[in-house]
Amino acid sequence: MSAHAAKAHAGGGDDAIHSDIESLRRVWTLAGPLRAKVLRGILYRFLQSLSLGLSFAAMIWVVTALAAGEVLSWPRIGLVTAVVLVSLLGQTVFSYLSAINSWLASFQLASDLRLTILDHLRRLPMAFHLSRHKGDTVTVLTSDMQMLESFLSDALPRIAQAFGLPVIVLGYLFWRTGRWRWRRSPRSRSRCRCSHGRADGWPCSVSADRTCRPKRARA
């Protein structure tokens, strides 16, 4: 591929992206007073994805604990079960709220646009209708409106949904990594509190099983 062709190909991609952005702005402008419902639908879909991420975080917690040789106590099992139940409840509630807001807003917008287009077509002279193919007008009122409904009710909320699960999982991993580094730091070992403490004259440190044990000086 020549340099000129490559530049033309890159320019075509930029034009396509610019066209998509302009189309999205136009749809957002047409939403008018229904923007609040659309935003609520997007937000609830994002919260639904966050709720799903809670289950993944709980499973990662269990797997990493078992890999480290820890024993799962009954309180921890109960906590994991509670997190999974909260995750399931959150997914159900937020999915319902997202569907209510997104679908109602998209249907209402498509209905208003159809009425607006029909009223505009009614005011046009007959010569305009005779000069155009009948299928063009029917396509605008049917297929185009269906694509708009599908975009606002499902495609746009899915974009927000794609961010929720990675956010909660990565946030948990960063939190877990930060805790591990803090425990491994000398400052955390100096603040260790345990039953022996310094009663025997030796400093204590955190062992792999999260218990404090005295450190003996090497001979």
Q: What is the pLDDT along the chain (219 residues), one digit of tens a residue?
A: 454 444 445 455 566 667 767 777 777 777 778 888 888 998 999 999 999 888 888 888 888 888 888 888 898 899 999 999 999 999 999 999 999 998 888 888 888 888 888 888 888 787 777 777 767 777 777 777 788 788 888 888 888 888 888 888 788 778 877 765 555 555 544 444 444 444 444 445 545 444 555 445 444
Per-residue buried b or exposed e for 18-45, using 16+ beta carbons within 10 Å of the residue's own CB: eeeeeeeeeeeeebeebeebbbbbbbbb
Q: What angle do CA 130, 132, 135 make, to 5 degrees?
A: 115
Q: Can you give the pTM of this predicted structure? A: 0.64
Distance from C-alpha of 201 to C-alpha of 187, rounded to nearest angstrom: 19
Residue extents of the structural domains in the chain: 34-184, 189-219
